[in-house]
A and B are shown apart, each in its own frame.
Chain A
């Protein structure tokens, strides 16, 4: 009797989560279905209807007739160097902050892994705008990349350092006695063991840089430099009526990160839970 009750409870819980999942996935389905319909068909028959004619060409149109190809390229130009440079810097700083002892270690740890990771973009957007003029990099990708590198490097340092701290200290000490330099210890011993945390830091910083809206908005004034989130807002402003086209642009913005999420799901989950639980 009691186990029958437990079984019913478990089935109910399962159904609750199944319904919740449907609600969570609904906006994605809305987006995909809208891209497959014709604009007039939506106006005529409303949003809730299967496509009269299935149109798979809308997604191509946003590349050929509009500038999403350019926006995609711009986003890659911003994201790839940001993540690569930030990770390289974070590996170095995480190593020093996990393994080495030095006078200003505590303040640097607080500055980089506590204060820096808590700074959100709207706090610094106004001075950053002024700084780009000072550096003579107004309206350049570099003006977006530099602050992004700072934010990504700080977060990656937090993730990678906490993993380095968990590695046995004796490894480094033994190698040191054998005459290895700190550089060799880092790249020959620590980094090869640290694939998962580095990948975790890489996936999360890639997503945040890719999706960022505020910094590109403040820094990039010409539309030909727009990243995908910026381009999407511009596009929507100009084509509010054409739902399939707008949704296709949204899909182009969201799909690369959704794929990344599916491939590196384990790393995402770990980064999101551990990164914030520090």
Chain B
């Protein structure tokens, strides 16, 4: 039916997707670069101010506070799941354990829950007074450990981080587990003959073989730790109070609450640059290991 287009036929097939991608993803992406260079309330006139927004950004205490909060989230959303995911996956190793399909399902289950729903549930778990965690501590006689988990500038970002670890640890275990299954059994047999212990087997065989999986897990979790992955959780759990506001939420507040479209866009550009650089470095390191 579309062949009537002759040489144009492929473009008729690609057209709708391409049009949507260009119009609703690429064009806004280009626009945000332009926005970051202007002062604009959203209505009325845009005033071009060059790098003015970025100069302001680097002197903005709230910006640096959001950035340091993101670093806490990187630890809990990315670093801890990657390290412990690798550890847990190598525990199973190549053997099949009883109920592995059940475990895989449970480990991936958090992935299908709306971020705000996670935030609400964990908000109840960490609630002050009669919340789940504090009630539990009282029940086992550890009253002195009771804390206002979400009402403290040190504890609240960590509490949000715990949600991230809960969310991404299972994902990492499943991805690494699938990678380990693909490793050639003969490599381990050869290593055992050479007298290599399990730690040596891990560093010499398992870890290098999981290069691609490591890159994927690190990049995916890093993007989530900086971006949309924390946004909904934070809004639902603390509304951004007690130093839990990440850069993405700060950008949203600037643009839509304070009507600083240009300044908010500058925060977005910083966030994008950070994600591109971090993903790029991770890919590059992963590639070099190959050789």
> Which A positions have Cβ atoms within 8 angstroms of B?
10, 13-14, 16-17, 20-21, 23-25, 27-28, 30-31, 34, 42-43, 46-48, 89-90, 92-93, 95-97, 100-102, 104-105, 108, 111-112, 115-116, 118-131, 146-147, 149-151, 153-154, 157, 181-184, 207, 210-211, 213-214, 217-218, 228-229, 232-233, 236, 243, 246-247, 249-250, 253-254, 257-258, 260-262, 265, 268-269, 272-273, 276-277
Contacts and interface: CB of A to CB of B under 8 A. Distances in A.
A211 B138 contact: no
Given A25-B106, A46-B138, A48-B139, A236 B14 contact: no
Given A211-B114, A272-B171, A17 B29 contact: no
A276 B136 contact: no
Nearest to A251: B117
Given A101-B10, A182-B2, A233-B235, 8 more contacts: A14-B99, A31-B121, A123-B227, A127-B31, A146-B24, A154-B25, A183-B1, A249-B120
Nearest to B249: A122
B17 A47 contact: no
A272 B108 contact: yes
Interface residues of B, number: 93
B73 interface: no
Nearest to A213: B232
B48 interface: no
21 contacts: A24-B170, A30-B124, A30-B132, A96-B14, A100-B9, A111-B22, A112-B14, A112-B21, A122-B228, A124-B24, A126-B261, A129-B42, A149-B20, A153-B20, A183-B3, A211-B113, A233-B235, A261-B108, A265-B105, A269-B174, A277-B216
A13 B130 CA distance: 35
Interface in B76-125: 88, 91-92, 95, 97-99, 102-118, 120-125
A177 B63 CA distance: 63
